[in-house]
């Protein structure tokens, strides 16, 4: 091959890089390109086979959920050939750095085969993302021999049966990070997530169809995020002693009120808490003995809370009773709370006279609370002023900061 006019002393710096760096470079490239690097030079011929990260993504083959069935069939055939061989030809079979799969379940057997093969390679990071309409896909059985190195697990649109949850503890001894999206706990029997070393757990849009409460026991857990999801059968947190940060979002009617209170109660060790969608009934504790004290709570963020029909003073009282149990609280953030707001382009809002209550009730005891941040997007009926006024009266030591941020930018 003719080299066009380059200096004869041009040194190949790229291939001289250590293999580790070349593997990092390959990890940024899509899988077909990674295989093509075998054509670059002798140094690169077998490099792609020992790379620690295997990424299989149907998007690299032009497959998406939007193409027609005829094109899908042709492209899937190519994709399947490639993926199967990519997995077959991989060198490092005993400790893979990471295995990532993202595809639709166009052919169940193919996808299952890839997942089994990927798991055989004992990955440290396993990410399976099924897209499109997934007719209920279960993982192959978890064996300790395959999952002994697994540190991070991320599953999307997978059905988790009792076998999965039952063997999670024994099969994955070093699991630190688990992220479940749109997963479903099936199998009508009590299920739970038990993991001794789990540090971070995120469950988004999962649902519990087991008719029993889902029990999460993770003594080393430091971060928990429960985001939407159907837990009408209940969800319980046990032994959350190490929990530092939690973010719980409760859609309407998906978690019972009692369950919400229980959840709150089990989070009493956290330092930073973010609650989305909680209502006044849950926060209000009439019986002060029942409610646990949040000893370490420093930052509390409420998003879209207190939106039901009570009077503002009642809502603030509920908030106050919650704050009383958080003696170390330093920062409170209220985002789009306390009143519904909507852009008034279609509605003609009648301005009313403000009557700011003068006898306000008690002053909330929260000495360390210095900063209250209120984020809103639209203000009607001067509800914002009422809110700020009432907050100011009940928490006189705190600074209140107002911020108008549009939730749905036009």
Q: Apex CA 182: angle with CA 176 and CA 188, to 5°?
A: 90
Binding other proteins (rule: CB under 8 A), the pick from 54, 77, 339, 395 is 77
- Give the Å distances, CA to CA, from 353 to 250, 341, 382: 35, 18, 9
- Helix%, strand%, coil% for the chain, nearest 5: 30, 25, 50
Binding mask 83-112 for other proteins (x = CB under 8 A): xxxx-xx---x--------------xx---
Asked if 66 interacts with other proteins (CB under 8 A), we say: no
Q: How many CB atoms lie within 10 A of CB 151?
A: 17
> Smallest gap, in angstroms, from Cβ of residue 42 to other proteins?
5
Report the C-alpha gap between 85 and 87 in whole angstroms: 5
User: Is the Cβ–Cβ distance between 158 and 128 less than 8 Å?
Assistant: yes
Which is nearer to other proteins, 84 or 296 (by Cβ)?
Answer: 84
> Contact region for other proteins (CB under 8 A) — 37-45, 182-190, 253-261, 346-354?
37-45
* Closest CA relative to residue 278, chosen from 252, 296, 299, 300: 252
Rule CB under 8 A: is residue 18 a binding residue for other proteins? yes
260-299 b/e with 16+ CB inside 10 Å = b?
bbbbbebbbbbbbbbbbbbbbebbbbeeeeebeebebbbb
CA within 13 Å, CB half, 25: 14
Quick check: 363 binds other proteins (CB under 8 A)? no
Only segment of 42-50, 154-162, 204-212, 253-261 that touches other proteins (CB under 8 A): 42-50
Single residue of 35, 244, 312, 375 touching other proteins by CB under 8 A: 35
> Given candidates 10, 252, 346, 410, which one binds other proteins under the rule CB under 8 A?
10
Q: Is 351 in the site for other proteins (CB under 8 A)?
A: no
Among 39, 68, 290, 362, binds other proteins (CB under 8 A): 39
Size of the site for other proteins (CB under 8 A): 52
Q: Is 33 in the site for other proteins (CB under 8 A)?
A: yes
Which residues pair with residue 165 across a beta bridge? none
Examine residue 41 and tell whether it contacts other proteins (CB under 8 A): yes
Residues at the interface with other proteins (CB under 8 A) = 1, 3-4, 6, 10-18, 20-21, 24-30, 32-33, 35-45, 77-78, 81-86, 88-89, 93, 108-109, 113, 116, 120, 135
């Amino acid at each position: 091959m003719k080299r066009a006019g380059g200096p004869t002393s041009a040194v190949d710096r790229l291939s001289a890089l250590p293999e580790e760096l070349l593997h990092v470079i390959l990890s940024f490239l899509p899988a077909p390109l990674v295989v093509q690097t075998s054509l670059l030079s002798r140094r690169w011929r077998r490099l792609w086979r020992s790379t620690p990260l295997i990424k299989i993504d149907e998007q690299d083959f032009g497959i998406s959920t939007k193409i027609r069935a005829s094109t899908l069939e042709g492209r899937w055939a190519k994709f399947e050939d490639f993926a199967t061989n990519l997995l077959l030809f991989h060198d490092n079979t005993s400790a893979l750095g990471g295995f990532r799969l993202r595809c639709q379940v166009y052919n169940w057997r193919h996808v299952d085969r890839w997942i089994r093969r990927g798991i055989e390679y004992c990955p440290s990071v396993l990410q399976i993302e099924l897209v499109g309409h997934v007719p209920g896909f279960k993982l192959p059985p978890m064996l300790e021999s395959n999952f002994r190195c697994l540190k991070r697990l991320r599953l999307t649109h997978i059905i988790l049966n009792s076998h999965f949850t039952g063997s999670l503890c024994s099969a994955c001894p070093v699991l630190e990070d688990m992220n479940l999206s749109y997963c479903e706990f099936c199998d009508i029997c009590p299920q739970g997530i038990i993991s001794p070393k789990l540090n971070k757990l995120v469950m988004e849009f999962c649902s519990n169809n087991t008719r029993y409460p889902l029990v999460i026991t993770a003594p080393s857990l430091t971060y928990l995020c429960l985001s939407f999801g159907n837990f009408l059968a209940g969800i319980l947190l046990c032994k959350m002693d190490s929990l530092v940060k939690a973010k719980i979002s409760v859609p309407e009617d998906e978690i019972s009120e009692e369950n919400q209170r229980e959840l709150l109660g089990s989070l009493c060790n956290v330092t930073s808490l973010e609650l989305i969608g909680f209502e006044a009934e849950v926060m209000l504790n009439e019986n002060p003995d029942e409610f646990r004290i949040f000893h370490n709570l420093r930052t509390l963020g409420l998003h879209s809370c207190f939106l039901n029909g009570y009077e503002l003073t009642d809502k603030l009282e509920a908030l106050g009773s919650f704050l009383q149990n958080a003696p170390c609280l330093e920062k409170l953030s209220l985002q789009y709370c306390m009143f519904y707001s909507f852009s008034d382009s279609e509605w003609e809002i009648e301005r009313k006279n403000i009557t700011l209550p003068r006898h306000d009730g008690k002053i909330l005891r929260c000495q360390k609370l210095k900063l209250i941040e209120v984020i809103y997007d639209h203000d009607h009926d001067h509800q914002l002023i009422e809110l700020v006024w009432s907050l100011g009266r009940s928490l006189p030591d705190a600074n209140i900061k107002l911020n108008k941020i549009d939730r749905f930018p036009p």
